Every structure is written in structure tokens, then in C-alpha cells.
């Protein structure tokens, strides 16, 4: 694609990056066929090719309107388009640049600004989110259904965390909303890894990975969260931890991009690259330890439908690995049509775009139920909580189900 970026951005690092991405796009439109919002709305501007064109216009200095912002807001950042694109267009990076530009050049209505600010203030802070969740539970019977289904009825017990007794050590990210919604996930991961000779360590005081604020378009605040997390972990990295294990693929995809996101920060660039290099999804770790795990596996697993989060299959490009780990562990995986499509959770999308998100959730749940599973397993707390709000079937993280298979 030919480009002519405007003077105000052409010679900036963002301008050069956006220009290189735009020039790769040949406008073939293959990506539209796998875009969830295009499939629902049928509008070219609600598909990747149209959004790329809108961002090109903005970067070239043409008029930016509220409609431009609306079409970018409707994007889930699911990155299915990146998986489909034959030309390697890094749509997600372009969207980060485009959203920041469009946000700065348009006036978002006051109510929307308040919602964005509140989400950015509450969700990354465990000390605020946990008490608000408790309050939400108390008020649940009086809330409208659309809000009540976002508040889980109970929190599963975490169980004991094994003492750090092994020479092999890995770090775990506690995360921001996960400890309040599902503390059993990291604890189960720690117990499974303990059985194969690895001690999993959560660092006290380590906060949010930065994804929430970064993707709400408070990009500088998100980068600050990333720097703070690197500082919390750095002594452990210097002490030689083997890996950083992610049980939430939404955090994992961001951490794998720390190196890129902080590459222009001279104080943090090298550390951020090291953190990215150490980051592994829990499926990658368990797959590598299969030989040690196999003798420990006991009773046969049940019939499960696996929902691969977009941040795992498109963002981290990890496809089919968790399914393989589960099949090797004796679970029967039921067929799930259109498993490449987003469930509509997408970080804060389910709150900011409830109509589209609800439709995607209903579609996803009927696809997951197609093979009559006993439960739904997934790999990201956002998808888990979102899907659980719309079904009577249990929805759990797969590592929790795998732990139950150990003798
Ligand atoms: S992003 Fe890729 S698939 Fe989509 S129009 Fe551009 S080149 Fe084609
Ligand atoms: S990220 Fe997802 S919703 Fe956004 S344009 Fe790409 S496929 Fe469509």
C-alpha cells in the first residue's frame, strides 16, 4: 500500500513503525473473513481492512471523526486478522498507534471518559477490586441481569501453596483481577509444577502487567505498570529463575511484548527484553515437562470443550498446544466449531461494548456446547469469567482440571 504520512508523525518512531506496517498491507481482504465484528456487522469499517484504511487516513492528516473512533472502539484487539493475513501485517501494533492518535484528536463523551477512567483506576488494583467484588456479590440479587452475570456467585478456594523446596524455580504473576476471582488457578499451577520438581514463586507486591491500562489507551500509565513489575521481579531474575509462568494468556501476550513496548526506554529496554524472553504460557511449561507428569496421571479425564483465548492462539501464536496437553492427560476434547473466533470478553470490551460482546458470548457458548461437554476449560481469567456468566456448565482454567487428574 502506498502511504504519505503527515509531517506531524512521519519522522517519529511511531510514524516509522506505522508506515512500515501499512506498506505491508496489500488490501486483499482475506482478514475480513475471520474478523468477529465484520461477521456480526457486515460493515467494511468494522473489519480489519477498513480499520487499517481509517488509521491510514488519520496518519496521513485527513479528518478524524467520532465515527473513526467508534470503528476502532468496536475492534476487539483479538488479532484473528493477524493470524489470517498472508502478508504479515502487525495489525495489533498499528491499532495501538492509531488508537492513541485518534483518542488525542477527538473528544470522547464525558460519560465514556468516566467509564474508561474508572476501569483503569479499579481493575489493576487488587486492593480496590477485591472489596468491590465483595460488594457486588452482596448486591447481586438486586442488580439487572446484564450486570449480575458479570459478578461470579462465589470464589473457589485456593488450597495450599507448596513450600519452595526445589532447585528449579519459576516466577508466577499473581495478576490484578485473577486472585480475587479465581485464586485456585495459580495455586493449582504451583501444586502441579511442584510434583514435577519445579517451585513456583509469586513475588509479594508485584502488581498488574500493564495490559489493562495500556489497552484502555492510557499507554504511559500501562508502561509505568510494566516498569514497576520489572522492578519487583528483577532480583529474582538476577538470581536465575528459569522462567516466568503465565496462567492468564491476556497477561502473557503483553509480557511477551515488553521488549518491544519498552525498546525506546534506555533504562528498561534490556530488562524488558529479558522478561519477555523468560515468559512462558503454562501450556508451554507443562508440555515440556510431560515425561515427568505422565507417571503421575491417575483417573481418566472427562469430556471437555476447550476455548483457546485469542491472546493465546492469535496473540502468542500458540495453537493446539493446550488441547494436546489435555488429550495426553486423558481428557476427551469435544469438537468446537469456529474456535478461532473471539468470545467477546477482550479485556474491558465486555463492559464498554456490551451489545457486541453479548452476541459473541452467546455464539461462543453454543459452539462450545455443540459436542455436549461436561465442562468448559480455558486459559484466561477474562474469558473464564465472561463465559461463566452465560452458562450453567462449569467454566474453569484447564490447569485446575489437570491437577485433579494427578494421583
Ligand atoms: S491486513 Fe493482510 S489480509 Fe488484511 S487486507 Fe491487509 S494484507 Fe490483506
Ligand atoms: S483485531 Fe479482531 S476485531 Fe479487530 S479487526 Fe482484527 S479480527 Fe477484527
336 Cβ contact list (under 8 Å, min separation 6): 305, 306, 307, 367, 368, 370, 371
Give per-residue pLDDT as tens, 96-107.
Answer: 999 999 999 999
Average pLDDT, the chain: 95
Pairing relationship of beta strands 375-378 and 168-172 according to DSSP bridges: unpaired
**pLDDT above 80: residue 348:** yes
* pLDDT for the residue numbered 134: 87
Residue 300: per-residue pLDDT: 80
- Residue 269 burial (10 A CB sphere; 0-12, 13-18, 19+): middle
| Ligand 1 contact via 27 beta carbon (within 6 Å) | yes
**Pocket of ligand 2 from Cβ distances under 6 Å:** 35-37, 48, 51, 75-81, 91
pLDDT of 131:
87
Name the closest-CA residue to atom 8, ligand 2. Answer: 35
- Percent of the chain scored above 70 by pLDDT? 100
Encode pLDDT of 292-347 as tens digits.
Answer: 999 999 878 899 999 999 999 999 999 999 999 999 999 999 999 999 999 999 99
Helix (H, G, I), strand (E, B) or coil at 384: helix
Whole-angstrom Cα distance, residue 221 to residue 251?
Answer: 16
Question: What is the chain's Cα-based Rg?
Answer: 21
Q: Do the Cβ atoms of 72 and 95 come closer than 8 Å?
A: yes
Q: Is the CB of 35 under 6 A from ligand 1?
A: no
Q: Between the CA of residue 361 and those of 23, 357, 370, what are the distances in Å?
A: 34, 6, 14
Regarding the beta carbon of 92 and ligand 1, being less than 6 Å apart is answered no
Cell numbers standing for residue 380 = 484466561
Classify residue 240 by burial, with Cβ atoms within 10 Å: 0-12, 13-18, 19+. exposed
- Any bridge partners for residue 279, and if so which? 244
Ligand 1 proximity of 49 Cβ (cutoff 6 Å): yes
C-alpha to C-alpha distances, 82 to 72, 86, 104, nearest whole angstrom = 16, 8, 26
Does residue 28 line the site of ligand 1, with CB under 6 A? Answer: yes
- Helix 110-122, helix 126-139: angle, nearest 10: 110
126-135, 171-180, 188-197: the lowest-pLDDT one: 126-135
Average of per-residue pLDDT across 13-19? 97
- Phi and psi, residue 161, nearest 5°: -100, 125
Average pLDDT over residues 205-222: 94
Nearest residue to 56 (alpha-carbon basis) of 112, 12, 119, 2 = 2
Provide mean pLDDT across the span 198-213.
Answer: 94
Test site for ligand 2: of 31, 35, 99, 314, most ligand atoms within 8 A of the Cβ: 35
Residue 138 in this model has a pLDDT that exceeds 90: no
DSSP state letter for 88: -
Residue among 3, 83, 85 to mutate when testing ligand 1 (max atoms within 8 A of CB): 85
**Quick one: pLDDT at residue 249?**
98
CA atoms within 13 A on the CB side of 329: 32
More confident residue, 7 or 135: 7
CB 250 within 8 A of CB 311: yes
pLDDT band, very low/low/confident/very high, at 281 (cuts 50, 70, 90): very high
pLDDT at 407: 79
Residue 11 gets which letter from DSSP?
T
How many angstroms does the Cα of residue 380 sit away from the middle of ligand 2? 19
What pLDDT score does 175 carry?
Answer: 87
Residue 148 has pLDDT above 80, yes or no: no
**Best substitution site from 25, 36, 52 to test ligand 2's pocket, by max atoms within 8 Å of Cβ?**
36
Query: Residue 88 C-alpha to ligand 2 middle, in angstroms?
Result: 14
For range 208-223, the mean pLDDT: 95
User: Mean of the pLDDT values across residues 230-241?
Assistant: 96
Measure the CA–CA gap between 258 and 161, rounded to whole angstroms: 28
User: For position 147, what pLDDT does the model report?
Assistant: 72
Ligand nearest, relative to CA of residue 78:
2
The closest of 343, 355, 332, 405 to 379, measured between CA atoms, is 343
Per-residue pLDDT, 153: 81
pLDDT of residue 202: 96
Q: In what side-by-side order are the strands of the sheet with 243-246?
A: 198-202, 168-172, 243-246, 279-281
Collapsing DSSP to helix, strand or coil, 112 comes out as: helix
Q: Is residue 177 within 8 Å of residue 123, measured between CB atoms? A: yes
Amino acid at each position: 500500500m502506498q502511504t504519505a504520512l503527515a509531517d506531524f508523525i512521519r519522522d517519529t518512531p511511531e510514524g516509522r513503525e506505522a508506515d512500515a506496517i501499512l506498506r505491508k498491507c496489500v488490501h486483499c481482504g482475506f482478514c475480513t473473513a475471520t474478523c468477529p465484528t465484520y461477521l456480526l456487522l457486515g460493515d467494511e469499517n468494522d473489519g480489519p481492512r477498513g480499520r487499517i484504511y481509517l488509521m491510514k487516513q488519520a496518519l496521513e492528516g485527513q479528518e478524524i471523526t467520532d465515527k473513526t473512533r467508534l470503528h476502532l472502539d468496536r475492534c476487539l484487539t483479538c488479532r484473528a486478522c493477524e493470524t489470517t493475513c498472508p502478508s504479515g501485517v502487525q495489525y495489533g501494533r498499528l491499532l495501538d498507534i492509531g488508537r492513541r492518535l485518534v483518542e488525542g484528536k477527538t473528544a470522547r463523551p464525558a460519560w465514556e471518559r468516566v467509564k474508561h477512567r474508572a476501569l483503569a483506576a479499579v481493575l489493576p488494583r487488587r486492593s480496590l477490586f477485591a472489596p468491590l467484588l465483595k460488594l457486588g456479590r452482596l448486591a447481586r440479587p438486586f442488580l439487572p441481569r446484564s450486570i449480575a452475570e458479570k459478578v461470579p456467585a462465589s470464589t473457589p478456594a485456593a488450597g495450599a501453596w507448596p513450600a519452595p523446596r526445589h532447585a528449579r524455580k519459576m516466577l508466577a504473576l499473581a495478576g490484578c483481577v485473577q486472585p480475587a476471582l479465581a485464586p485456585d488457578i495459580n495455586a493449582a499451577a504451583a501444586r502441579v509444577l511442584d510434583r514435577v520438581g519445579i517451585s513456583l514463586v509469586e513475588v509479594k507486591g508485584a502488581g498488574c502487567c500493564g495490559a489493562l491500562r495500556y489497552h484502555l489507551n492510557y499507554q504511559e500509565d500501562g508502561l509505568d505498570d510494566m516498569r514497576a513489575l520489572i522492578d519487583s521481579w528483577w532480583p529474582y531474575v538476577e538470581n536465575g529463575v528459569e522462567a516466568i509462568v503465565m496462567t492468564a494468556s491476556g497477561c502473557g501476550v503483553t509480557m511477551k511484548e515488553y521488549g518491544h513496548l519498552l525498546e525506546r526506554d534506555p533504562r528498561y529496554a534490556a530488562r524488558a527484553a529479558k522478561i519477555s524472553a523468560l515468559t512462558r504460557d503454562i501450556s508451554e511449561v507443562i508440555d515440556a515437562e510431560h515425561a515427568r507428569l505422565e507417571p503421575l496421571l491417575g483417573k481418566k479425564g472427562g469430556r471437555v470443550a476447550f476455548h483457546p483465548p485469542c491472546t493465546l492462539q492469535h496473540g502468542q501464536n500458540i495453537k493446539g498446544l493446550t488441547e494436546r496437553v489435555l488429550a495426553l492427560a486423558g481428557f476427551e476434547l469435544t469438537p468446537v466449531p469456529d474456535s478461532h473466533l473471539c468470545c467477546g470478553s477482550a479485556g474491558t470490551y465486555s463492559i464498554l461494548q456490551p451489545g457486541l460482546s453479548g452476541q459473541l458470548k452467546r455464539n461462543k457458548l453454543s459452539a462450545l456446547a455443540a459436542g455436549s461437554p461436561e465442562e468448559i476449560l480455558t486459559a484466561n481469567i477474562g474469558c473464564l469469567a465472561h463465559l461463566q456468566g452465560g452458562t450453567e456448565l462449569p467454566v474453569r482454567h484447564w490447569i485446575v482440571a489437570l491437577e485433579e487428574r494427578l494421583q
